[in-house]
Amino acid sequence: MTPCPSASGPQRCRNGGTDIFTPLQANKVAHHPCYSVSGHHHFARMHLAVAPACNLQCNYCNRKYDCSNESRPGVVSELLTPEQAVAKAQLVAQAIPQLSVIGIAGPGDPLANIGRTFRTLELLRARMPDIKLCLSTNGLMLPDAVDRLIEIGVDHVTVTLNTLDAAIAAQIYAWLWLDGERYTGRAAGEILLARQQEGIRKLTEKGILVKINSVLIPGINDTTMFRVSRQVREWGAFLHNIMPLIARPEHGTVFGLNGQPEPDAAALTAVRGRCAQVMPQMSHCQQCRADAIGMLGEDRSQMFPLSALPPRPQPYLPLLRQRARLHASLVSGGESDEPQACLVAVASSRGDVIDCHFGHADRFQIYSLSAAGVILVNERFTPKYCRGAGDCEPQDSEARLDDMLALLADVKAVFCARIGYAPWQKLESGGIEPCVEGAWQDVSDVLSRWWRQRRLAGEDEKTEKGAA
């Protein structure tokens, strides 16, 4: 058997797949409350309702606005502008420091509202550089958006794919809208399936973590779900979330009004069990609202209405450092609270080796070093200090460097492949050790060696003070 990624990190499965997570990808899964069976006990998520329109009409969906008494996808209490969304996200991060992920999941499709969605993502990336960004989509517009998603730092995408058969798709979707044209029936299904496949493959080829959501609909797609699991695994997706159809008459969906049955627990378990032979399955999904806030299984969205937003958000960097300490404590089992424990930053493209120049890094991985070992806490995104040959001298380079140093002010060392003289001096003057001796070496090995040396130096210092 070969390694196969699962909701709690790389594990083995029975399909003989060849996908292997990089260390960075494995840690991203482990710390994601919606992707990890263990992470959802420690970390919180937030959905921002900035995408009201949809380009696909699903027979199981009825989007409702200003609705606080239904808990299911497509329902929100308030629609947000991008600016309101980011202000609300900063307020939630203050109240819920376990917040690790912010996603856009509706109430329509984020990529059918591409201007609002990307404006929100851009603001989030600039103002909350340690937050994981996620997106959930039906996949219709995904092929056109992949490069922009990667550029902005979205590395978790969920695609809802319910079938591989255009005839079955015609029973699930009433219509789709693409390039100013409305399509129905089998033609709509063929278009959707082709674009879903293209988008998923493009994402996974670029290293983006893709989870597949499928709604289990008895008598329509239940007998073909094994084929879906097997195919999306071949396309590079790493996790399959098979969710039960919600079809109650009071929700006003087509399926709810025409009496389409929901699957019972036994049927859902049986389908998941069979699909698990070829694809890791997610079983802790709560089918959250499009404005859900808090730990998985709870929804605190009603605690954060727009009326509660402060006129001016608090500075985020102090909160970022507070959140880093908390997240380090969570992932280290409290060991990071010991006096000698510390945070360090690493410039690595894949998370396995230290291979990035300090000035070319657009993100740093933040690690906790403690008695618990070397543990990834999160990533912090930053504008590059150098933007190409000869571009480290313009007037704004000093400001960019100052921004990077402010972002890293709570770490004890920065590990990178190379670093220029000016940033080296600035790091040292800020009490941060620049480390290039581990260039092109394994991240965990380099950090472990540095941590052992730091501990030994601390013990020697204590001995000398005691002797004095």
Residue 12: pLDDT over 60? no
Contacts of 135 (CB under 8 A, 6+ apart): 103, 104, 105, 110, 111, 117, 121, 149, 154, 156, 157, 158
Pairing of strands 413-415, 373-381: unpaired
What are the counts of helices (DSSP H) followed by strands (DSSP E) for the chain? Answer: 13, 17
Q: How confident is the model at residue 38 (pLDDT cuts 50, 70, 90)?
A: low
Whether residue 450 has pLDDT greater than 70? yes
Per residue in 362-382, pLDDT (tens digit) is 999 999 999 899 999 889 999
Q: Which CATH number is 23-297 given?
A: 3.20.20.70
Q: Are strands 209-216 and 154-160 parallel, antiparallel or unpaired?
A: parallel
Give me the pLDDT at residue 339, please: 83
The reply to whether CATH 3.40.50.1000 applies to domain 316-466 is: no
Average pLDDT of the residues of the chain? 84
Q: What burial letters (b/e) apply to 313-327, b meaning 16+ CB within 10 Å? A: beebeebbbebbbeb
Please report, as a single letter, which amino acid is at residue 424. W
Q: Locate tokens 């290039």: which residue?
A: 436
93-133 pLDDT tens trace:
999 988 989 999 888 999 999 999 999 999 999 999 999 99
Distance CA 329, CA 402 (A): 28
Measure the CA–CA gap between 190 and 467, rounded to whole angstroms: 79
316 Ramachandran zone, left/alpha/beta (phi>0; psi -120 to 50): alpha
Tell me the average pLDDT across 184-194. Answer: 97
The CA distance from 205 to 202, in Å, is 5
Q: Given this model, what pLDDT does residue 25 score?
A: 60
Would you tell me how many other CB atoms lie within 10 Å of the CB of residue 340? Answer: 13
SS3 379: strand
pLDDT at 336 over 90: no
Question: Which sequence spans correspond to the domains of the chain?
Answer: 23-297, 316-466
Q: What is the DSSP letter of 393?
A: S
Q: What is the pLDDT of residues 165-185, one digit of tens each?
A: 999 999 999 999 999 999 999
What confidence score (pLDDT) does residue 5 get? Answer: 34
The DSSP output letter for 280 is -
Type of residue found at 405: L
Q: Which two tokens stand for residue 160?
A: 């809802």
Residue 398, pLDDT > 90, answer no
B/e letters for 432-442, b = 16+ CB within 10 Å, e = fewer, are bebbeebbebe
pLDDT interval class at 468 (50, 70, 90)? low
Q: List phi, psi (to 5°) of 226.
A: -60, -40
The pair of three-digit structure tokens given for residue 7, joined into one six-digit string: 């909701």
Identify the three-state secondary structure at position 359: helix
Give me the pLDDT at residue 388, please: 59
Long-range contacts of 449-454 (CB under 8 A, 24+ apart): 450/344, 450/369, 450/413, 450/415, 451/369, 451/374, 454/340, 454/342, 454/369, 454/412
pLDDT of 224-275, one tens digit each? 999 999 999 999 998 999 999 988 887 778 998 989 999 999 999 999 999 9
Q: What is the token pair recorded at 453?
A: 């040396």
**DSSP three-state, residue 335:** helix
Residue 444 and residue 415 in contact, taking contact as beta carbons nearer than 8 Å: no
- On the question of pLDDT at 3 being above 90, the answer is no
Decide: 153 and 381 in contact? Cβ < 8 Å: yes
